Amino acid sequence: MTTNPRRGRATWVSVVCASLLASAACKRPAPPIMTIDAVKAVDWSVTGVALDITFKLRNQNPKQLRVERFDYDLFLNGQLVGHGYQPEGFDIAGFSEQKVNSRLDVSFLKAPFAIKQIFKQKSALAKAKGNFYVKLGWATTAVPFDKDMDFTLRQAPDGAGDAR
């Protein structure tokens, strides 16, 4: 029994084409590039402080990207200060940038001296570590991020810290 070499080649070419099409269809979009734009202490109390964190997100994909939500742990100078999240979904147009605000409540009961000292310093290293929940087709997928940013801290007129 002999085999037709053209038939074997045609089968091989069709398998390669099918795998290329499948991989192109399943290509995951790149996650947004995130930077921490600002950390601002907005509401001081005896037990803690509320921080408004502004993130700058950039879509590095040509198509619109749907972020269903994100959550993160915020570290200042290596000290975990709290867990924050953005519960509302948003879209980022292709190759564009968008600012997103998140409120984080910091409890002084965890490490009161360390947290207060951070806001008395002139600079701090902020780190956000968490997950974007990105819409891919019909499923939502967790995409991890881990971003460091060095800040110059400013004191607001009422003594609260403002980092940019």
Rounded alpha-carbon distances, angstroms, from residue 129 to 70, 75, 90, 119, 139? 10, 8, 20, 20, 22
Output the pTM of the full model.
0.73
Quote the pLDDT of residue 149.
82
Work out the number of other CB atoms within 10 angstroms of the CB of residue 76.
25
Average pLDDT (116-135) is: 85
Q: Is CATH 3.40.190.10 what the domain over 29-163 is classified as, yes or no?
A: no
Query: Which stretch of DSSP H or E encloses residue 113?
Result: helix 112-120
The predicted pLDDT at position 83 comes to 93
Tell me how far apart the alpha carbons of residues 40 and 2 are, in angstroms, rounded to a whole number: 77
Show me where the domains of the chain are located.
29-163
pLDDT for the residue numbered 96: 97
Report which secondary-structure segment, H or E, holds 115: helix 112-120
pLDDT per residue as tens digits for the range 22-46: 444 456 788 899 888 888 888 888 8
What average pLDDT does range 115-137 have in this prediction?
Answer: 84
Q: Summarize the confidence of residues 106-118 as an average pLDDT.
A: 77
Would you state the pLDDT for residue 88? Answer: 94
DSSP 43-82: EE-SSEEEEEEEEEEE--SSS-EEEEEEEEEEEETTEEEE
pLDDT tens column, 66-94: 999 999 999 888 888 899 999 999 999 99
- What is the reported pLDDT for 24? 45
What percent of the chain clears pLDDT 70, i.e. is strictly above it? 74
User: Mean per-residue pLDDT for 2-18?
Assistant: 57
Tokens of 134: 């990105």
